[in-house]
């Protein structure tokens, strides 16, 4: 039997996290945490390399036979993208939160919770058994909850509860569908929660629609789409930047990830049926999120709202049902993780110095701390999908792919592209970085430009965004396999060029 790499990948950070609950010095704890996260990164890269060279990494071990539940893990293109996102971001988040805010729980606990969360997230992205996915999906809520409650800012209790209630509500609805799936599967003979087995049932008709909706609502809450998004800005504003990065950059991706793997992957007919509505909802999210970002004065809320807008693009691409748009959406999931991490973390660096997330508390920072300003500008340019950034490639694929399916819906979505320029440059950058240097800015930033650790956090993120902006092919090829498989399973073909004979 080969080594269970995927199980090991998820367990490694969880073991690290549990170890960190043992009493030890603060310095040792942080180092140990970082070592575990880097080790996980190494295993993640190894998994990517092995998969690239054709090794079958999947594990399928019977778990609870009566339920048809399996300890089943596997990795496809989209899963691999999410794995890489998770293992790369986690050590960077640990570095960025090297000094968690004083007066809260200890740094040791923070590192422990982050590692446990990483492990659970990795299992979420690798589970190929619906029940297993559901359990890990719910389990990620626990460390996230404590990360908010233990380390957040004002109103963290309210925010954590809100997060929990929204997520639980979604989870319960999904649970109904999970149970329903069992019933359907059992009625066919041997019950099985394996995605492969369930997919071959092709659950269509009313039953398929109801079961699909159960999953979809949970994922809509997770990937927050308007109007079920209000928990996100509150939660992000009350979290530390590192927690917000993990929450929005990685965990919210479970929403779009789940739409592709479970909604489209188990209920093809129902997903085609719901697609027009989802496209409209996606456009509403794009515009609503962007406008709300423009109206924000709290930078954490602002960044959270930009994500609402960007998730709208991802959902739009998924439900446009073209290979291009879906590939764009999955690639967007990866890029958005890095892009939003860059924004949250740089906002965190600002707040660490000035002690406020209020945009109006800043002004003229560029003059005193040019590196900070430059990094924020780059992060912002990535958020507004400037060509050269990876986000542009993904946004363009979503737009062009969706346009081929439905130009009118896409035209509305495109307004979000202009609004992105407004919230990044006119709101976030111009108000904080430009203008005369205020007295408070002088005091907070004079001689306190980015530290070595902070640069070490930002450089890989920005380098990655630029690299995939110019050389997107490796990542695109990786995730395209999932899009192609999904398209084929659902049975939708790409629109052919209108002009015949064009190449």
Partner 1 sequence: MLLETLAAPVAATGMFTLAWTMIAVPAVMAGLLLLAGKLSDRWGHLAATAAVVWSFAIAVCLFAEQMMRPASERAVSAHLYTWLGVGHWTFEVGLLVDQLSILFALLITGVGSLIHIYSIGYMAHDARRRRFFAYLNLFIAAMLILVLADNYLVLFVGWEGVGLASYLLISFWQHKPSAAAAGTKAFVMNRVGDLGLLMAISTMLAMFGSSSFEAVNAGAAHVPPLWATLIGFFLLLAACGKSAQVPLQAWLLDAMEGPTPVSALIHAATMVTAGVYLVVRSHAIFEMAPIAQAAVVIVGTVTLLAGAWIGTSQDDIKKVLAGSTMSQIGYMMLAAGIGPAGYAFAIFHLLTHGFFKANMFLGAGSIMHGMNDDVNMRHFGGLASAMRVTFLTFSMGYLAIIGFPFFAGYFSKDHIIEAAFANNVVIGLCALLGAGITAFYMTRLMLMTFFGEKRWRQGVHPHESPKAMTVPLIILAVFSVGAGLLMNWWIQTWLEPAVGNHAHDISLIPTPVGWATLLVVAAGVAASWMVFGRGSIPDVAPATKNPVTIAGRNVLFGDQVNGFLFTHPTVATAKAIDTADVSLIDRSFDGAGRAFQGLSTQLRRLQTGYTRNYALTMLLGVLVVGAVLILSQLG
Contacting partner 1 within 336-365 (CB under 8 A): 364
Residue 25 CB, shortest distance to partner 1, in Å, is 28
- Which one of residues 386, 438, 448, 460 is an interface residue with partner 1 (CB under 8 A)? 386
Coil, helix or strand at residue 364: coil
H helix or E strand, kind and range, residue 335: helix 323-354
CA 325 to chain centroid: 18
Which range in 6-14, 274-282, 414-422, 439-447 contacts partner 1 by CB under 8 A?
414-422
Which range in 8-16, 36-44, 121-129, 323-331 contacts partner 1 by CB under 8 A?
323-331
Q: What are the CA-CA distances from residue 389 to residues 373, 426, 472 (Å)? A: 18, 20, 10
Which range in 84-92, 211-219, 235-243, 489-497 contacts partner 1 by CB under 8 A?
489-497
Residue 411 sits in the site that holds partner 1 (CB under 8 A): yes
Q: Decide if 108 contacts 94 (C-beta within 8 A).
A: no
Burial of 179: CB neighbours in 10 Å, binned 0-12, 13-18, 19+: middle
Residue 179 CB, shortest distance to partner 1, in Å, is 5
The two most distant CA atoms of the chain are separated, in Å, by: 74
- Which one of residues 292, 303, 320, 492 is an interface residue with partner 1 (CB under 8 A)? 292
Residue 374 sits in the site that holds partner 1 (CB under 8 A): yes
Per the omega criterion (within 30 degrees of 0), is the bond before 434 cis? Answer: no
Q: Which residues have CB under 8 Å from 501's CB, separation 6+?
A: none
Residues 227-266 that bind partner 1 (CB under 8 A): 227, 229-230, 233-234
CB closer to partner 1, 23 vs 436 = 436
Residue 399 sits in the site that holds partner 1 (CB under 8 A): yes
Residue 349 CB, shortest distance to partner 1, in Å, is 18
Distance between CA atoms of residues 170 and 138, nearest Å? 10
Angle at 170 between CA 168 and CA 174, to 5 degrees: 110
Which range in 29-37, 112-120, 349-357, 391-399 contacts partner 1 by CB under 8 A?
391-399
Residue 414 sits in the site that holds partner 1 (CB under 8 A): yes
Residues 76-135 that bind partner 1 (CB under 8 A): none
Which range in 1-9, 104-112, 210-218, 223-231 contacts partner 1 by CB under 8 A?
223-231
CB closer to partner 1, 24 vs 176 = 176
Q: What are the CA-CA distances from residue 484 to residues 78, 121, 198, 303 (Å)? A: 11, 25, 19, 32
Q: Decide if 91 contacts 105 (C-beta within 8 A).
A: no
CB closer to partner 1, 36 vs 321 = 321
Coil, helix or strand at residue 276: helix
Q: Decide if 240 contacts 98 (C-beta within 8 A).
A: no
- Which one of residues 173, 199, 207, 425 is an interface residue with partner 1 (CB under 8 A)? 425
Q: How many residues interact with partner 1 (rule CB under 8 A)?
A: 90
- Which one of residues 109, 127, 235, 296 is an interface residue with partner 1 (CB under 8 A)? 296
Coil, helix or strand at residue 452: helix
Residue 367 CB, shortest distance to partner 1, in Å, is 6
Which range in 78-86, 104-112, 253-261, 289-297 contacts partner 1 by CB under 8 A?
289-297
Burial of 496: CB neighbours in 10 Å, binned 0-12, 13-18, 19+: exposed
- Which one of residues 84, 342, 419, 444 is an interface residue with partner 1 (CB under 8 A)? 419
Residue 426 CB, shortest distance to partner 1, in Å, is 5
Residues 144-203 that bind partner 1 (CB under 8 A): 145, 149, 157-158, 160-161, 164-166, 168, 171-172, 175, 178-179, 182-183, 186, 191
Q: Which of 225, 308, 221, 322 is nearest to 264 (CA)?
A: 322
Residues 428-447 that bind partner 1 (CB under 8 A): 429-430, 433-437
Residue 412 sits in the site that holds partner 1 (CB under 8 A): no
Q: What are the CA-CA distances from residue 371 to residues 171, 384, 432, 450, 465 (Å)? A: 43, 20, 14, 7, 18
Angle at 124 between CA 395 and CA 257, to 5 degrees: 25
């Amino acid at each position: 039997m080969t080594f269970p790499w995927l199980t090991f990948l998820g367990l490694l950070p969880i073991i690290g996290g549990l170890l960190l609950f043992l009493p030890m010095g603060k310095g040792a704890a942080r180092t140990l945490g970082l070592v575990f996260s880097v080790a996980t990164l190494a295993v993640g890269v190894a998994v990517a390399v092995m998969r690239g060279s054709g090794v079958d990494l999947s594990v399928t071990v019977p778990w609870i036979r009566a339920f048809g539940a399996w300890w089943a893990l596997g990795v496809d293109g989209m899963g691999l993208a999410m794995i890489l996102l998770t293992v790369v971001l986690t050590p960077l988040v640990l570095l960025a939160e090297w000094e968690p805010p004083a007066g809260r729980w200890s740094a040791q606990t923070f590192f422990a919770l982050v590692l446990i969360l990483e492990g659970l997230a990795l299992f979420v992205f690798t589970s190929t058994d619906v029940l297993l996915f559901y359990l890990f999906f719910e389990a990620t809520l626990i460390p996230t909850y404590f990360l908010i409650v233990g380390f957040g800012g004002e109103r963290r209790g309210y925010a954590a509860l809100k997060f929990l209630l929204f997520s639980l509500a979604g989870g319960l609805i999904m649970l109904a569908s999970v149970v329903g799936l069992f019933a359907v599967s059992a009625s066919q003979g041997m019950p099985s929660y394996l995605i492969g087995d369930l997919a071959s049932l092709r659950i269509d008709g009313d039953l398929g629609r109801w079961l699909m909706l159960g999953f979809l609502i949970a994922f809509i809450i997770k990937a927050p789409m308007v109007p079920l998004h209000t928990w996100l800005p509150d939660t992000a504003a009350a979290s530390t930047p590192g927690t917000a990065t993990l929450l929005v950059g990685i965990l919210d991706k479970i929403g779009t990830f789940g739409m592709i793997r479970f909604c489209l992957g188990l209920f093809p007919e129902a997903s085609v049926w719901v697609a027009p509505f989802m496209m409209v909802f996606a456009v509403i999210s794009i515009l609503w999120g962007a406008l709300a970002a423009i109206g924000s004065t709290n930078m954490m809320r602002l960044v959270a709202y930009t994500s609402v807008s960007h998730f709208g693009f991802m959902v739009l691409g998924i439900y446009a049902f073209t290979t291009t748009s879906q590939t764009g959406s999955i690639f967007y999931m990866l890029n958005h993780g890095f892009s939003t991490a860059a924004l949250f973390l740089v906002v965190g660096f600002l707040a660490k110095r000035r002690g406020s997330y209020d945009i109006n508390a800043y002004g003229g920072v560029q003059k005193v701390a040019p590196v900070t300003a430059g990094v924020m500008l780059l992060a912002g340019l990535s958020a507004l999908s400037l060509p050269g950034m990876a986000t542009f490639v993904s946004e363009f694929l979503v737009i062009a792919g969706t346009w081929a399916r439905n130009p009118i819906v896409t035209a509305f979505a495109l307004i979000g592209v202009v609004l992105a320029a407004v919230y990044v440059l006119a709101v976030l950058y111009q108000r904080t970085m430009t203008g005369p240097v205020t007295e408070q800015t002088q005091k907070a930033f004079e001689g306190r430009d980015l530290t070595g650790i902070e640069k070490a956090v930002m450089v890989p993120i920005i380098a990655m965004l630029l690299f995939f902006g110019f050389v997107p092919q490796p990542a695109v090829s990786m995730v395209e396999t999932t899009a192609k498989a999904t398209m084929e399973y659902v049975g939708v073909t790409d629109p052919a060029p209108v002009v015949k004979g064009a190449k």
